[in-house]
Amino acid sequence: MRVGIATDHGGFALKEELVASLRAAGHDVTDFGAYALNPGDDYPDFVTPLAEAVVAGKVDRGVAICGSGVGASVCANKIHGIRAALIHDHFSAKQGVEDDHMNVLCMGGRTVGPAVAWDLVQTFLAAEYSDAERHLRRLSKVATLENS
């Protein structure tokens, strides 16, 4: 799978570990930065290009990280067509894709350890959207909100 990943300083170490794990698992990874640990950087500078790449189809799914994951989630969801969520548990990583067609997983580099993060990413990437009528109906309503 083509996976994009982005972070600011708050998730830099976690991003580096996830990039290595994703590549070792055979994924085609696009790293949107940060490329160095810089305490003065800002998550929108990295998360925005990631989200735009997901919408443009340049990557299949995205992983966005900041210190808590909240800012990355807020930022990603400002991009039309993104369905991002802050995820801390296995169930939500899977259900977010299956029911809500989540295309960007957000995590906190200061709140989720590397082993849990890797489990969440694997679960997110393995999940598939269900196309169930009720999910399509709900996403249509969300799209109406997004377009208004």
| Residue ranges per structural domain of the chain | 2-147
Is the bond into 34 cis (omega within 30 degrees of 0)? yes
CA separation, residue 67 to residues 32, 73, 86, 119, 147 (Å):
16, 11, 12, 19, 30
Active site residue 106: no
Which is the catalytic residue, given 66, 72, 85, 120? 66
Which pTM does this prediction carry? Answer: 0.96
Q: How many CB atoms lie within 10 A of CB 95?
A: 17
CATH topology of domain 2-147: Ribose 5-phosphate Isomerase B; Chain: A, (3.40.1400)
User: What's the CA gap between 6 and 74, in Å, rounded?
Assistant: 14
Sole residue written with tokens 């598939």: 128
- The tens digit of pLDDT for each residue in 19-67 reads 999 999 999 999 999 999 999 999 999 999 999 999 999 999 999 999 9
Tens of pLDDT, residue by residue over 70-108, are: 999 999 999 999 999 999 999 999 999 999 999 999 999
